[in-house]
Amino acid sequence: MSTAYWCVLAAAFLPYVWTVIAKRAGGRRYDNRDPRGWLARQDSPVTIRANGSQLNAFEAFAPFAAGVLMAQLAGVAVGTINTLALAFVAFRILHGIFYLTGWHYLRSATWAAGYACVVILIVNAARAI
């Protein structure tokens, strides 16, 4: 099970990767005294996309973590949980990359694939009980 738990940890840190990119890609020096105002003033497409990726990664984390825990508590096969967790993290990394590059069709496809991993985890948990 530790593979899936490591994936939960990786997914928890992933939004901060996109945060760092958003702060570094801005045309003006990042202002930690007014982070949201600073972001609102940015016009760099990379900064805007990185922030969008950050927000989406935060939104995706809770259902994923819940899905892993639900599947584990319900007795779903460890191999299934680990495979889905690894796939989720891979899809989320690709999602962020496609978000940054502006490849919106691939971004949407990887978002859907990652979400499918979460749904499968939760459905397997529900069926196991």
Quote the longest CA-to-CA distance of the chain. Answer: 54
Residue 43 has a pLDDT of 84
| Total count of domains within the chain | 1
Any idea what the CATH number is for the domain that residue 70 is in?
A: 1.20.120.550
Domain boundaries, position 122: 2-128
Per-residue pLDDT band for 27 (boundaries 50, 70, 90) equals low
Residue 34 has a pLDDT of 83
Residue 113 has a pLDDT of 98
**124 three-state secondary structure:** helix
Q: What is the pTM (predicted TM-score) of this model? A: 0.93
Q: Compute the distance between CA of residue 74 and CA of residue 71 in angstroms, rounded to an integer.
A: 5
Residue 40 has a pLDDT of 81
